[in-house]
Chain A
Amino acid sequence: MKDLIVIFISTVLINNFVLTYFLGICPFLGVSRRISSALGMGGAVIFVMTLSASISWLIYHYILLRFNLTFLEYVVFILVIASLVQIVEMFIRKFSPTLFKALGIYLPLITTNCAILGCALFMVARNYNFLESVIFGFSAGLGFSLVLLVMAGIREELNFCDIPQVFRSAPITLITAGILALCFMGFSGILSF
């Protein structure tokens, strides 16, 4: 139980995927324009990450390890992730066309999102058991959504700010991301494991 809590907190805050590992930067910058679409994207990523981590774990341990086919791990993981993203896309398209439009190309881009493949690979590299990988996947997604949401909130406020011309849009976004990363550095050292 204690291990699970440690994994959860460390993945959400201390070793946040976006701000500490720099994984999944593209939707982080691309979809953080509005809080509503950031929430949708966060939900999609949590769903895909949790499921991909658990399914990848099952496939890795029960099929790849058993038949000594670990050299297939990247291909299999990508296959699982791509199918999950496809499902999420169908789902969102059916039930929320507005969100589908807002997410645009970033939704299919989750397929090759390094955060999600990274999550599956970390899980293998760290020898997590099944429950641990599920929690790991979920908390990685949660950490991603948290940062995305914070960023979207800041960027919505930035719209009302008098920003010097040269800093508008991309530069100010990257500066904000940098400052956010700096803030998240403050969490390092809370837990030692």
Chain B
Amino acid sequence: MEKAVEGLIVLGGIGFILSIILSFLSEKFKVEENPLVEKILKILPQINCGACGFSGCEEFARRVIEEKKPYTCIPGGEEVNKKIAQILGLKAEKIEAKKAVIRCGAKKEEKKVSFYYWGPSSCVAANILGGNIDCLYGCLGFGDCIEVCPQKAIFFDGARVKIDIKKCIGCGRCVEVCPRNLISLVPYKEEVWFVACNNKDKGVETKKVCKSGCIGCGICARLKESPFFIKDNLSFIDYERTDNKEALFEAKNRCPVSCIIRDD
């Protein structure tokens, strides 16, 4: 019994001394968390997409407060950025909403299969072997982008991989993952316009592998005040000049392979 009391005293004494030291040090090394971080974090979409260039929404909030710079949260859109700027007393930079588009419009049955691919079901893997379709530029359709999308906005609609413009937040993760660089972010003003082809070969070659590929005929570029231009046998849109809606619609109607796409 005596031993137990002694043990109790010794153990209690050591514990007591250590706890005093700890409580003293915890006062001294106190870390003060800025209450603004929590406030901004509540406004942010909290999907940790990484489009802002930081490792997550928390890091974004911390850096915005520390550096007093209006970094933009792309998926948050105008509203979120305005609110953040208000809290910090800064002016929000005007941001342009961007959406991702897949620049390949070929349907699954249209794509000519060049060999039977039996590897891992991933575009990156298939692309290492050169891709299993004849078109060297087109969508392989294994859906690496579908997996990476934080909003589940990309889906396979039975014919081709598509992006749901309404759900897309423009974070750009799919842009990085596509081994054929088919996905790009384009300006969004109630609608997006893009040329759904990436084949840079000459028209004849393109025709051989795909019915709906851009042949670089230049009909769209020759229209009056047309925002289209031809480069590498491929039509592109100059997004600085897309105010003229008529030219866009006319180009869409006159495109012989109908690869100019409007989506809203």
Query: Which A residues lie at the B interface, using CB under 8 A?
Result: 59, 63-64, 67-69, 71-72, 75-76, 79-80, 83, 86-87, 90-91, 93-94, 97
Considering the complex of A and B, which 7 residue pairs feature the smallest CB-CB distances, nearest first? Answer: A83-B18, A90-B29, A94-B29, A69-B7, A67-B6, A72-B7, A93-B31
Q: Is the beta-carbon distance between B14 and A59 smaller than 8 angstroms?
A: yes
Please name all residues of chain B whose beta carbon is closer than 8 Å to the beta carbon of A90 when the two chains form the complex.
Answer: 25-26, 29
Q: Is the beta-carbon distance between B22 and A86 smaller than 8 angstroms?
A: yes
Query: Which B residues lie at the A interface, using CB under 8 A?
Result: 3, 6-7, 10-11, 14-15, 18-19, 21-22, 25-26, 29-31
Please name all residues of chain B whose beta carbon is closer than 8 Å to the beta carbon of A67 when the two chains form the complex.
Answer: 6, 10
Least CB separation from A75: chain B residue:
B11
Least CB separation from A59: chain B residue:
B14
Minimum C-beta distance from B181 to chain A (A): 23
Q: Is the beta-carbon distance between A83 and B22 smaller than 8 angstroms?
A: yes
Minimum C-beta distance from B169 to chain A (A): 26
Q: Is the beta-carbon distance between B10 and A69 smaller than 8 angstroms?
A: yes
Main secondary structure of the interface of B (DSSP, over half): helix
Q: Is the beta-carbon distance between B10 and A91 smaller than 8 angstroms?
A: no
Least CB separation from A71: chain B residue:
B7
Please name all residues of chain A whose beta carbon is closer than 8 Å to the beta carbon of B18 when the two chains form the complex.
Answer: 79-80, 83
Pick 9 A–B contacts, CB within 8 A, sort by A.
A67-B10, A68-B3, A69-B6, A80-B14, A80-B18, A83-B21, A83-B22, A86-B22, A91-B29
Instruction: Provide the bound-state CA to CA distance between A28 and B6, in Å.
Output: 39
* Known contacts A79-B15, A94-B31; A64/B10 CB under 8 A: yes
Minimum C-beta distance from A192 to chain B (A): 39
Please name all residues of chain A whose beta carbon is closer than 8 Å to the beta carbon of B6 when the two chains form the complex.
Answer: 67, 69
Minimum C-beta distance from A41 to chain B (A): 19
Instruction: Provide the bound-state CA to CA distance between A75 and B30, in Å.
Output: 28
Instruction: Provide the bound-state CA to CA distance between A91 and B29, in Å.
Output: 7
Least CB separation from A82: chain B residue:
B18
Least CB separation from A91: chain B residue:
B29
* Known contacts A79-B15, A87-B22; A72/B10 CB under 8 A: yes
Least CB separation from A93: chain B residue:
B31
Instruction: Provide the bound-state CA to CA distance between A68 and B10, in Å.
Output: 11
Please name all residues of chain B whose beta carbon is closer than 8 Å to the beta carbon of A68 when the two chains form the complex.
Answer: 3
Instruction: Provide the bound-state CA to CA distance between A83 and B26, in Å.
Output: 12
Least CB separation from A100: chain B residue:
B31
Minimum C-beta distance from A138 to chain B (A): 21
Instruction: Provide the bound-state CA to CA distance between A80 and B21, in Å.
Output: 12
Minimum C-beta distance from A155 to chain B (A): 20
Q: Is the beta-carbon distance between A63 and B10 smaller than 8 angstroms?
A: yes
Please name all residues of chain A whose beta carbon is closer than 8 Å to the beta carbon of B21 when the two chains form the complex.
Answer: 83, 87
Q: Is the beta-carbon distance between A87 and B11 smaller than 8 angstroms?
A: no
Cβ contact of B25, chosen from A72, A76, A87, A97, cutoff 8 A: A87
Instruction: Provide the bound-state CA to CA distance between A128 and B29, in Å.
Output: 35
Besides A71-B7, A87-B21, 7 other A-B contacts (C-beta < 8 A): A63-B10, A63-B14, A68-B3, A80-B18, A91-B29, A94-B30, A97-B31
Minimum C-beta distance from B84 to chain A (A): 22
Least CB separation from A90: chain B residue:
B29
Please name all residues of chain A whose beta carbon is closer than 8 Å to the beta carbon of B26 when the two chains form the complex.
Answer: 90
Please name all residues of chain A whose beta carbon is closer than 8 Å to the beta carbon of B15 when the two chains form the complex.
Answer: 79
Minimum C-beta distance from A11 to chain B (A): 27
Q: Is the beta-carbon distance between A76 and B14 smaller than 8 angstroms?
A: yes
Instruction: Provide the bound-state CA to CA distance between A69 and B6, in Å.
Output: 8
Instruction: Provide the bound-state CA to CA distance between A113 and B87, in Å.
Output: 45
Minimum C-beta distance from A96 to chain B (A): 11
Instruction: Provide the bound-state CA to CA distance between A193 and B3, in Å.
Output: 38
Instruction: Provide the bound-state CA to CA distance between A90 and B14, in Å.
Output: 20
